């Protein structure tokens, strides 16, 4: 009875001990293989650097770029060789084998990306952008960089796809998705519209090239240069060292200015406002002298014209040219500064002035001063009116004003004419002789 109870326990213990021993042996084999691979990789890398030395800079760059994939690749190869030698069960070995397969697929994608970048850099080594005429170099750099970004995305997507296809349930889902490709395609297209639009815009930029690396552009009223073109956006370096990030689709759908589309040479204008008496020929000669002494002028365009005229000034426009946008800006500032200094020192009368002319005019009668009246004479009517009040009107009698006893005989008298009144009513013929007579009635008839 006791023997029957102990034997199963002993068998289980032996199985567990054997399994633990197998796991320990398998782990030791795998770890030793990985260590050997890492040591071998380090030794090979050190030996390669010693052989190349400091002369082959490009090969050293390639070695630095491939250091990561090779460091992962050698241990994977060593583990793949050592895995069949381990005493592991079949299911465990199958799981480890699938993990190694996934790692190998990722390694292949990494190697493909590294090889793409090395090839692009190797192709672009012969093009230099630090030369004055770098239009061809910028064209090839733009095409290679844009295509490189697009191929990066394709390689990453393919790597993820191959890695997922190692699982059975993912393959079944792929078959179902392929069967309903119409509906899934519409939904996926709507969801990925921004990504797809930028992707196709990048292909169009690589082929048509409306912009290139180091192009001088004006985007959203901001001037700058194209610094980087990625898979989904463009980085514009502004004049004040800021960075504007613009989607790729912007340069396909909206208008913008490209100052260096066909060539790097640019023409700039400088405006001056001077007096009408300014010596234009002397200023033109001075402009030629300033441009000839400047290192920024490329010797192609130089002119000075009177572009406008107003009632106070004339407008002078100076045209100069330079090899690029940065040099043109500095040249314009230099010409403006030196011409203003020349006008200030040599032609101060040419600076803008305002003229005021004094004109004598004949004063009107109302503005003439009033002469005082002569002594003992009669004062002017206005002064007399102010001192004594307004003159009283002189009575006027019409011809049909026949005197009657019941009529008021005087306009200042409220009495009817009495019989004893010494004041007689004038007739229509002697009204003027009536002026200055007494203006009050005297009923008593006394003088």
**What is the CATH number for 200?**
2.30.30.60
The answer to whether the CB of 107 falls within 8 A of the CB of 69 is: yes
Q: Are residues 118 and 139 in the same domain?
A: no
Q: State what percent of residues in the chain have pLDDT above 70.
A: 68
> Where does the pLDDT of residue 410 fall: very low under 50, low under 70, confident under 90, or very high at 90 and above?
very low
Q: Higher-confidence residue: 67 or 430?
A: 67
The answer to whether the CB of 382 falls within 8 A of the CB of 389 is: no
Mean pLDDT lowest among 64-68, 74-78, 251-255: 64-68
378, pLDDT greater than 70: no
Q: Is 132 helix (H, G, I), strand (E, B) or coil?
A: coil
Q: What is the CATH number of the domain that holds 281?
A: 3.30.70.100
What pLDDT, on the 0 to 100 scale, is given for residue 428?
47
Q: Is 310 helix (H, G, I), strand (E, B) or coil?
A: coil
56-65, 253-262, 280-289, 399-408, range with greatest mean pLDDT = 280-289
What pLDDT, on the 0 to 100 scale, is given for residue 236?
93
Residue 399 lies in a domain: no
Helical packing angle, 135-164 and 90-124, nearest 10°: 170
What pLDDT, on the 0 to 100 scale, is given for residue 411?
44
Q: Are residues 15 and 104 in the same domain?
A: yes
Residue 306 lies in a domain: yes
Residue 367 lies in a domain: no
Q: Are residues 66 and 169 in the same domain?
A: no
Q: In 275-335, which ranges are E strands?
A: 297-309, 314-322
Q: State what percent of residues in the chain have pLDDT above 90.
A: 16
277, pLDDT greater than 80: yes
Asked which of 203, 234, 263 is the last residue of a domain, the reply is 263
Residue 390 lies in a domain: no
6-15, 159-168, 432-441, range with greatest mean pLDDT = 159-168
What pLDDT, on the 0 to 100 scale, is given for residue 270?
93
Helix (H) or strand (E) holding 344: helix 325-346
Q: Are residues 135 and 69 in the same domain?
A: no
- What's the number of domains the chain is made of? 3
Give the residue-averaged pLDDT of 2-29. Answer: 61
Asked which of 125, 153, 176 is the last residue of a domain, the reply is 125
Other Cβ atoms within 10 Å of 154 Cβ, number: 12
How many whole angstroms separate alpha carbon 75 and alpha carbon 367? 114
Q: Are residues 100 and 158 in the same domain?
A: no
Mean pLDDT lowest among 6-20, 72-86, 136-150: 6-20
Q: Are residues 277 and 303 in the same domain?
A: yes
> Where does the pLDDT of residue 261 fall: very low under 50, low under 70, confident under 90, or very high at 90 and above?
confident
142, pLDDT greater than 70: yes
> Where does the pLDDT of residue 431 fall: very low under 50, low under 70, confident under 90, or very high at 90 and above?
very low
Question: Which 8-state DSSP code applies to residue 268?
Answer: E
What pLDDT, on the 0 to 100 scale, is given for residue 8?
58
Tens-digit pLDDT profile for residues 40-52: 888 888 887 777 7
Residue 54 lies in a domain: yes
Q: Higher-confidence residue: 272 or 372?
A: 272
What pLDDT, on the 0 to 100 scale, is given for residue 407?
46
How many whole angstroms separate alpha carbon 260 and alpha carbon 266? 8
> Where does the pLDDT of residue 360 fall: very low under 50, low under 70, confident under 90, or very high at 90 and above?
low
What pLDDT, on the 0 to 100 scale, is given for residue 335?
94
Q: Are residues 244 and 299 in the same domain?
A: no
Task: Give the C-alpha distances (Å, rounded to integers) separating 185 from 27, 234, 264, 270.
Answer: 46, 28, 45, 57
Q: Higher-confidence residue: 58 or 87?
A: 87
The whole domain housing 143 covers 129-263
Helix (H) or strand (E) holding 200: helix 193-208
Asked which of 350, 374, 399 is the last residue of a domain, the reply is 350
User: For residue 90, what are its two tokens?
Assistant: 């079949």
Q: Are residues 296 and 246 in the same domain?
A: no
pTM: 0.54
Q: Are residues 147 and 76 in the same domain?
A: no
> Where does the pLDDT of residue 18 fall: very low under 50, low under 70, confident under 90, or very high at 90 and above?
low
319, pLDDT greater than 90: yes
Burial (Cβ within 10 Å: 0-12, 13-18, ≥19) of residue 79:
buried
What pLDDT, on the 0 to 100 scale, is given for residue 358?
67
Residue 49 lies in a domain: yes
The answer to whether the CB of 421 falls within 8 A of the CB of 439 is: no
Residue 85 lies in a domain: yes
Tens-digit pLDDT profile for residues 116-132: 888 888 888 888 777 76
List own/partner pairs for 186-195 with CB under 8 A and 24 or more apart.
195/232
321, pLDDT greater than 80: yes
CA-nearest of 321, 332, 222 to 266 is 321
Q: Are residues 107 and 135 in the same domain?
A: no
441, pLDDT greater than 50: no
Residue 380 lies in a domain: no
What pLDDT, on the 0 to 100 scale, is given for residue 96?
82
């Amino acid at each position: 009875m006791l023997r029957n109870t102990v034997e199963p326990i002993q068998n289980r213990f032996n199985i567990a001990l054997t399994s633990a021993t197998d796991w320990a042996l398998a782990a030791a084999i795998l770890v030793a293989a990985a260590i050997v691979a890492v040591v071998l990789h380090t030794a090979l890398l050190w030996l390669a650097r010693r052989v190349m030395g400091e002369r082959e800079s490009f090969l050293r760059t390639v070695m630095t770029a491939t250091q990561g994939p090779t460091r992962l690749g050698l241990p994977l190869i060593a583990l793949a060789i050592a895995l069949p030698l381990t005493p592991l069960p079949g299911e465990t070995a199958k799981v480890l084998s699938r993990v190694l397969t996934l790692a190998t697929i990722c390694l292949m994608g990494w190697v493909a990306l590294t090889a793409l970048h090395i090839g692009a850099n190797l192709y672009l080594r012969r093009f230099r952008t630090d030369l004055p005429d770098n239009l061809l170099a910028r064209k090839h750099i733009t095409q290679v960089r844009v295509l490189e970004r697009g191929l990066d995305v394709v390689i990453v997507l393919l790597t993820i796809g191959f890695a997922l296809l190692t699982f059975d349930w993912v393959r079944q889902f792929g078959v179902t998705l392929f069967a309903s490709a119409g509906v899934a395609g519409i939904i996926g297209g709507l969801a990925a519209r921004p990504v797809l639009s930028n992707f196709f815009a990048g292909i169009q930029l690589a082929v048509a090239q409306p912009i290139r690396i180091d192009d001088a552009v004006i985007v959203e009223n901001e001037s700058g240069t194209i610094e980087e073109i990625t898979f989904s956006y463009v980085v514009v370096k502004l004049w004040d060292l800021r960075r504007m990030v613009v989607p790729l689709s912007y340069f396909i759908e909206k208008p913008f200015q490209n100052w260096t589309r066909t060539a790097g040479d640019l023409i700039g204008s400088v405006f001056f406002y001077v007096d009408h008496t300014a010596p234009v020929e002397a200023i033109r000669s001075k402009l030629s002298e300033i441009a000839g002494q400047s290192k920024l002028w490329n010797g192609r365009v130089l002119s000075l014209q009177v572009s406008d005229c107003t009632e106070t000034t004339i407008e002078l426009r100076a045209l100069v040219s330079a090899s690029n946008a940065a040099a043109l800006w500095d040249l314009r500032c230099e010409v403006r500064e030196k011409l203003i200094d020349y006008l200030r020192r040599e032609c101060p009368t040419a600076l803008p002035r305002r003229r005021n002319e004094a004109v004598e005019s004949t004063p009107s009668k109302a503005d003439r001063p009033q002469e005082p009246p002569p002594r003992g004479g009669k004062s002017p009517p206005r002064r007399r009116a102010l001192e004594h009040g307004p003159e009283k009107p002189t009575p006027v009698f019409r011809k049909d004003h026949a005197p009657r006893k019941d009529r008021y005989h005087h306009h200042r008298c409220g009495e009817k004419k009495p019989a004893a009144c010494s004041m007689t009513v004038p007739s229509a013929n002697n009204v003027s002789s009536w002026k200055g007579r007494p203006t009050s009635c005297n009923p008593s008839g006394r003088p």
